[in-house]
Structure 1
Amino acid sequence: MGRNRRIWNPDAYEHVVMRGNNRQPIFQDESDIDAFIRVLAYAHEKYPFTILAYCLMTNHYHLLIRSPEVPLGKLMALINKRYSDYAKKKYHYSGYFYESRYYAGKAITHKSILAVSRYIHRNPINTLNPMVAEMKEYPHSSYRFYADSSCPPYEFLDLSYMPTILPRPYSKCIAGYLMYCEEPDPPELERIGVK
């Protein structure tokens, strides 16, 4: 039986998750993270896209991404192929680099966009053994840029949108967004399914 055809909506954000084959590491050191960011920058030059949140873990990554100009599948094929080519060459790896095709779940409402971004940013502290004490300490996530209130270091990263869609009682500012992410169970948190 064939795989279901993905439906592209150029206006929708999607929660993309990509895992290493057999859950093996896809990022083994800092240079791999840098290479992946370079791949994103290269892909952005070819097919402009927007990321609201990302988190690069050892054996998988999360993106909250919108691809308005080309179908998401075309963009992800470019990103995943370029990075796997880099990693396979560096680590003399043969065979399947990724577990399967990427997971993508649409985040269309403000509630679902917020919930997905919160889920992505909490990944390093929601593991069995938290990787850091606070989300802002994790170096491979967009959360640190929100926490520092810094200008986005990458053209594809938009830090201005999330605060504008916060529900009450949160202030529509970066501090309000940080509070939303850091609270154990925000009142507006919508359940999301993650593969």
Structure 2
Amino acid sequence: MTRKREWYKGSIYHITVRGNRRNDIFRDKEDFEYYLNVIEEALFYYIQFNYKVICYCLMDNHVHLMIKTDIESLGRLMGRISASYTRYFNKKYNYIGHLFQDRYFGELIESDKQMLEASRYIHLNPVKANMVEKPGEYEWSSYNMIIGNKKEKIIDSRFILNYFKYNDTVQLYINFVENDLKVETDKEPRVE
């Protein structure tokens, strides 16, 4: 029997969805675009539940989403997203069976600090996977929307940027995310 997930009205979750056996769930640009369209469609379909996507990052074999709920748990939204994308993927690639490994994993965000750290973790995922050197170089995350380099779509950057001083919100968020890269680089052993 599947255990019922813990949910609180108005809660925020860091969601992770993985490909079955860690297989890729995105094989080309069209796949990434389709998944983002599926999220947008699902948000509209459940507009009465007032779900808000705070940030996201689509990797080759998994997805990170941070979502704020309002009056309904995430089950319906995530179920619709996964089912719609699976139908698309299976038809396109003549695939049979499960695309995703289990149900989505949802970590309850319990503090402002945890929310900011989770957003940084999400946006640094492609950097830590050695896909890009800086988070702004990765096309399939919300980072460029939050820092104003790309028009916002499906997210609301205010959830993150409201934590930073009004005049410098964007630069402070960039510093918050990218200074973490400098700290990790400084920790690496020097070769002489």
Asked if 1:173 corresponds to 2:169, the answer is yes
Match of 2:62 among 56, 60, 63: 60
Q: Could you report, residue by residue, the CA deviation over 1:54-97 in whole angstroms, capped at 9, with x for unpaired residues?
A: 00000000000112242201110011000011101111111111
More helix by share: 2
Q: Could you report, residue by residue, the CA deviation over 1:128-159 in whole angstroms, capped at 9, with x for unpaired residues?
A: xx10111100000001122335441x2x3111
State which drifts further: 94-103 or 65-74: 65-74
**Once the two structures are aligned, what percentage of the paired residues are identical?**
32
Name 2:159's counterpart in structure 1. 161
Question: Given that residues 67 and 75 in structure 1 are in contact (C-alpha distance below 8 angstroms), is that contact kept between their aligned partners in structure 2?
Answer: no
Q: TM-score, normalising length from structure 1?
A: 0.85
Structure 1 segment 24-63 matched on structure 2, within 5 A: 24-48=23-47, 49-63=51-65
Q: Could you report, residue by residue, the CA deviation over 1:24-74 in whole angstroms, capped at 9, with x for unpaired residues?
A: 010000000111111011101111321111000000000001122422011
Question: Given that residues 164 and 172 in structure 1 are in contact (C-alpha distance below 8 angstroms), is that contact kept between their aligned partners in structure 2?
Answer: no
Asked if 1:115 corresponds to 2:117, the answer is yes
The aligned length equals: 180
Give the secondary structure class of the aligned counterpart of 1:123.
Answer: helix
Name 1:183's counterpart in structure 2. 179
Asked if 1:78 corresponds to 2:65, the answer is no
Give unmatched runs, 5+ long, in structure 2. Answer: 184-192
* Aligned counterparts of 2:181 and 2:27: Cα–Cα separation in 1: 32
* Aligned counterparts of 1:109 and 1:40: Cα–Cα separation in 2: 25
Q: Could you report, residue by residue, the CA deviation over 1:171-190 in whole angstroms, capped at 9, with x for unpaired residues?
A: 76111111111112799xxx
Q: TM-score, normalising length from structure 2?
A: 0.86
Give the secondary structure class of the aligned counterpart of 1:64.
Answer: strand
Question: Given that residues 10 and 66 in structure 1 are in contact (C-alpha distance below 8 angstroms), is that contact kept between their aligned partners in structure 2?
Answer: no
Q: Over aligned residue pairs, what C-alpha RMSD do you find?
A: 2.1
